[in-house]
Structure 1
Amino acid sequence: MSSEVELLRQQLAAAQQQLSISRQRFSKTDLPIFLDGLHKYLFFNLEIQTDEMQLTRGDPSNAHNKLCPRKLRAWESFPLEQEKIWRLFMESSLVKDELFTSLHTLEEMGENVRRQLIGSELDLNHFLRQTVEDHMSRIVEELYKDTQL
């Protein structure tokens, strides 16, 4: 009888652990988990088209109407400014609150990204919008909601 009770306790503990894992995957995420998920499921899925017949043709130095810096200058105060902002940011609720896309959704998005090979500048722009810009704009929206940030 006690071995049956022990077996049931083990099964209950396993079920509770599985439920906890499922909740994590399907629930909204906090910022650190969200950023990690973006890197893991989206950004690292970049695949380059290797079939030369499918690649963009033309002169790669064709940079008409594109921004290009003419002079670079050191930003001496950047480390101190960044440290101050980072400290303020890490103390905010934005880092802890579950406001962002679930890991499950990011995984599914990553599956779609993997199907699209990068063979042109247009493909790369599309990839960047899917993996970086759309998600970063979501973070910026949340930043604007916090008056201190």
Structure 2
Amino acid sequence: MRFLVAFVALIGYASASAIVSPLLLGANAGDVQAAAIDATVAARDAVRAVGESQARAAEAVLQHNTEAVRAVAETNRDIHENAYWNGVAASQNLVAAAQSQAAALDGVAASVRAAAIANPLAYAAPLGWAGAVPVAPYGLGVHGLGVHGLGLRAW
């Protein structure tokens, strides 16, 4: 037991002397200079680490913003492209509808011309007589039955 007490006392004295001895005896100049260099290097390393982490964070933000701008530009391009092609389709539908109407009117005019040629007095009688020349609807008279008929043509 005495051995154990002596051993603990020896360990306590050794650890206390390692901590306290520089304060009591003073430190030599080389140890102080080495400690100052170590502290300076550690401080520079800490500052460099902070700077590098800020640079990485700024780069991540820049990359995120670039991707967001690219995504918005692509979405806008898609929207405008769809609007353009929808406008083209609408224009083509309008042209097709106009052509259908023109063809329908041309067919009606052709049927009126055919009926007027087949029986000119039937179309002239309800509208009245202008002398000896029968008057037909839409100006179909002697000259109205010429090459162009009503003047309507398909596109």
TM-score (norm 2): 0.28
Greater relative CO (CA pairs within 8 A, separation 6+): 1
Instruction: Select the structure of larger CA radius of gyration.
Output: 2
Between structures 1 and 2, the one with greater helix share: 2
